[in-house]
Amino acid sequence: MDSRLAVELAGIRLRNPVMVCSGTFGSGSEYGDFLDLESLGALVTKSVTLNPRAGNPPPRIWETPSGMLNSIGLENKGVERFIQEDLAHLSALELPVIASVAGSSVEEYVEVAGRLSDSGRASALELNVSCPNVKRGGVEFGLESQAACELVTRVKERCGVPIFVKLSPLVPDMGAMARLLQEAGADGLSLINTVPGMAVDIEGKKPRLGAVTGGLSGPAIHPIAVRSVWTARQQVGIPIIGMGGITDWRSALELIVAGANAVAVGTANFTDPQATIKIIGGMESFVQARGLDRIGELVGSLRV
């Protein structure tokens, strides 16, 4: 592994800046046959809530020409089983694990985040305040800066690990939101979650998804992600994890040049379980060919 790819995010050392997006990699073990998990920079787990959730009615996935609509509805086994079953296994690996937290009230976020922090098995937490697929919670906490900042303050009071905040591309003023979250104590930002969308069966005159609407990911949303990262980077110094439609090392590096310190690969894992490994390889070749001492030299290097 090329040490020039190593990065540090909120005090966490990553062997490279390539991680996987929450919800696209199960709890990691599902991908164990396809790649060495310890080759990744970090792994972000599926969002967990206090109690188990069954999720939304099927169909929950619909493929579009340039991406994927999902409406999972935060299905998960609840924080306690997640800590005992999934985090226990993941924490045995030489791999930083960022646990994603969701909730339908401030109290729930604080409780879940507190239990994960106390477990000692997560290197950091990602507050998912951007899920478009639930009736309560999710994006409700992430579009309005006062609610988002209050949540971060409360979670920070309770937790001893760095807190990243995952935002929706629907945030009306990404730059202002980023700055206010930094002031509220957020240790980093994850940009962006899916873009709300829907698809229609014209014969049956029905929505393609059981929950009618969903979140669009994949190549179609990459330019939105690049803009979001660039807009936020102009306002904050805290680490940004860039995500949204990464397909290869070039699209990953676009996010880094726009201002991301690390990237997360999501939908591409479904079409190619080795996408992350190929992206890491491409970054190694790029750094080598350009004679860079470290990949961090590229972060926010965009000239406008």
Q: Which stretch binds ligand SIN (CB under 6 A): 6-14, 26-34, 123-131, 248-256?
A: 123-131
The three-class DSSP label of residue 32 is: coil
Cβ closer to ligand SIN: 213 or 234? 213
The three-class DSSP label of residue 13 is: strand
Q: Write down the catalytic residue from 21, 131, 149, 159.
A: 131
Counting contacts by CB under 6 A, is residue 131 touching ligand SIN?
yes
Q: How far is CA 230 from CA 254, 257, 302, in A?
A: 10, 9, 9
Q: Which stretch binds ligand SIN (CB under 6 A): 67-75, 140-148, 242-250, 279-287?
A: 67-75
Give the whole-angstrom CA distance, residue 101 versus residue 116.
Answer: 9
Shortest Cβ 168–ligand SIN spacing (Å):
9
Q: Which stretch binds ligand SIN (CB under 6 A): 8-16, 70-78, 152-160, 229-237?
A: 70-78
The three-class DSSP label of residue 100 is: strand
Counting contacts by CB under 6 A, is residue 193 touching ligand SIN?
yes
Helix (H) or strand (E) holding 259: none
Shortest Cβ 209–ligand SIN spacing (Å):
10
For residue 36, count CB atoms less than 10 angstroms from its CB and return exposed for 0-12, middle for 13-18, buried for 19 or more.
Answer: exposed
Interface mask toward ligand SIN for 136-155; x: CB under 6 A: --------------------
Q: Which of residues 251-290 bind ligand SIN (CB under 6 A)?
A: none
Catalytic site includes residue 149? no
Q: Which stretch binds ligand SIN (CB under 6 A): 3-11, 66-74, 201-209, 247-255?
A: 66-74
Q: Residues touching ligand SIN: how many (CB under 6 A)?
A: 14
Helix (H) or strand (E) holding 248: none
Could you tell me which residues come within 8 angstroms of residue 116 by beta carbon, excluding any fewer than 6 positions away?
A: 48, 79, 83, 87, 99, 101, 122, 125, 159, 161
Shortest Cβ 283–ligand SIN spacing (Å):
26
Token output for 148? 């988002």
Shortest Cβ 145–ligand SIN spacing (Å):
19
Give the whole-angstrom CA distance, residue 99 versus residue 133.
Answer: 19
Cβ closer to ligand SIN: 143 or 302? 143
Shortest Cβ 243–ligand SIN spacing (Å):
11
Q: Which stretch binds ligand SIN (CB under 6 A): 72-80, 146-154, 220-228, 270-278?
A: 72-80
Query: Please, what is the end-to-end C-alpha distance for the chain in angstroms?
Result: 33
Q: Which of 16, 49, 104, 128 binds ligand SIN (CB under 6 A)?
A: 128
Counting contacts by CB under 6 A, is residue 72 touching ligand SIN?
yes
Q: Which of 50, 74, 113, 246 binds ligand SIN (CB under 6 A)?
A: 74
Q: How far is CA 181 from CA 117, 150, 235, 255, in A?
A: 20, 9, 11, 20
Could you tell me which residues come within 8 angstroms of residue 65 by beta carbon, excluding any fewer than 6 positions away?
A: none
Counting contacts by CB under 6 A, is residue 23 touching ligand SIN?
yes
Q: How far is CA 207 from CA 58, 221, 247, in A?
A: 11, 21, 27
Which residues are the active-site residues?
Answer: 131
Contact set with ligand SIN (CB under 6 A):
23, 47, 70-74, 128, 130-131, 133, 193-194, 215
